[in-house]
Amino acid sequence: MDTLFTINACKTFGCRNLGLPSAAEYHFPNFRLGYPALYCAACGSYPPLFNEREFRPWLAAYLTDHARRYGYFCPVCYQRDIIRYGRNPQGTQRLQCRHCKKVWTPKFPHIAPIEAPRRICSVPLIAPFQGNAAGQKLYFLLSFDAVRGNVIHLTSNFTPFAVGESLRYHWRGGQADREETDDIIQRISLTEMRFLQRSQFDEIQYGSAMQKRHARGNILRPVIAAHGHFKLLSQRFPEVKTHVIAHECFLRGAAIVAWAPLFRQRQGDLWYVEEEIRNPASPAPWQLQGKPIMAGGKIHGSVGRRKRIRKWSAGLPALQKRTPSYQTLRPADGLQYGWKTDPRLRRAPCIPQGA
C-alpha cells in the first residue's frame, strides 16, 4: 500500500531504486533534458517528473469508483481481503473489508471475478467521440489475459473526476504521434524516432480531444491514464510476472512502477509487441504466440508471419546489474517461435531506459 500512489520513481531495470518513492540518490527537479525530471544518481536515469499532489487525489477517486462498482477491493483502504456481509433491504449482496471494516454494496455484484491471469497484454486504441468539432479522439488502453483471452480492464483518458492542470491533455496541433506504414520494421524505427522527437518521452500527441462546451469531466494525458490503469490492475493482480505491452515507452514506465516489487526483485518480464493483421476479415482469433527468451539480461526480438499476422516482440532486460541508457535488439531463435527472423532487427532500436 505504501507504493500504491507512487508515480515519481526510478524505472530502470536492475537499479536498486526501481519503483521506490524516495531514495538518497534522487535529485529533483532536474532540467538537464529540457523538462522537469527526477535524476537517479544510482543508475543515471532521468524519468519525467509528475505532480504527485494532483495525481494522488485523482487516482484515489478512480480506484474508489471502481471498487464501489465492482467490489474487487475496498473503496477506502484498497485492500483485497474482503468477505460477504449479508444483503441490503433490496436483497443485493453486501461486502465488508476485513482490514478497515468498511461495508458497501457494489453496483454490479452480478459480475463474477475471473481467474487471475498469468500474463497480461496491454494495447492502446484511438477512438472517435462526439466533441466540440469533428475528428475528436480519445485514447483507450485495453488489457487482456494473454493466455485465456479475457478482457480484464479497459481505460480511456476521459475522466469524470476533477483533475489538476498538469494532468490534462492538451493538443498542440500538427501531426498526430502515429506511424502509418505497412512495413512493421519501418514502423518500429519510425516509432522510436518519434520517441526521441518528443518534448519528453511520455508526452504523446495523438490528436485533438476537445469536449463539448458544457460537457463535464476532463481529458487526461495518456500517460496519467496509463498509470491509473496499471495501478488498478496491480491492485487486483499483484502477482502477475509477465507483461506484454504495445511499443510505447510511457506504458513501460507505468507498468514498471505498478509492479515495482516484482521487477525490483528481478521476478518480472516485460515485453514490447508490435503486430500487423493483413486480413482484418479473417475469423481467426488474435493469439499471443511464442514465449519469452531472456537470459543474462539480453534482449531478443522476432518478426514473422503466421496466419497472415506479423508480430515483433522484444524482451526488456531485467537481469543486468547496470543497464545502459540505450538497447539494441538481437535476432531471436526462429525455431523458438516457428517463424523466420528479419535480419533488420539486428539494428532495430529499443527504448531509452529513463522513459
- Taking a C-beta distance cutoff of 8 angstroms, is the pair 323, 43 a contact? yes
Residue 143 lies in a domain: yes
Residue 18 lies in a domain: no
Residue 241: is it exposed, middle or buried by C-beta count within 10 angstroms (0-12/13-18/19+)? middle
Residue 353 has pLDDT above 50, yes or no: no
Average pLDDT rounded to a whole number, residues 170-174: 83
Strands 242-246 and 119-128 turn out to be: parallel
Q: Answer with the residue of higher pLDDT: 317 or 187.
A: 187
Strands (E), 18-109: 26-30, 37-40, 82-87, 93-97, 103-104
pTM exceeds 0.85 for this model:
no
Round to whole Å and give the CA distance between 294 and 297. 6
Comparing 1-15, 66-80, 126-140, 318-332, the range with the smallest average pLDDT is: 318-332
Residue 93 lies in a domain: no
**Taking the CA of residue 45 as centre, how many other CA atoms within 13 Å lie in the half-sphere pointing to its CB?**
29
Q: What percent of the chain has pLDDT over 70?
A: 73
Round to whole Å and give the CA distance between 228 and 345. 33
Round to whole Å and give the CA distance between 125 and 226. 12
Look up the domain containing 281 and give its range.
116-355
Q: Tens of pLDDT along 28-78?
A: 999 998 889 999 999 999 999 999 999 999 999 999 999 999 999 999 999
Residue 314 lies in a domain: yes
Residue 203 lies in a domain: yes
Q: Tens of pLDDT along 268-324?
A: 888 877 766 666 677 766 555 544 333 223 333 333 333 344 444 444 433 333 332
- Total tally of structural domains belonging to the chain: 1
Residue 144 lies in a domain: yes
Round to whole Å and give the CA distance between 133 and 209. 9
Residue 25 lies in a domain: no
Give CA separation, 26 vs 38, 231, 305, in Å.
7, 22, 44
Q: Tens of pLDDT along 15-29?
A: 999 999 999 999 999
Residue 205 has pLDDT above 90, yes or no: no
- Taking a C-beta distance cutoff of 8 angstroms, is the pair 347, 341 a contact? no
Q: Which three-class secondary structure state does DSSP give residue 18? A: strand
Residue 92 lies in a domain: no
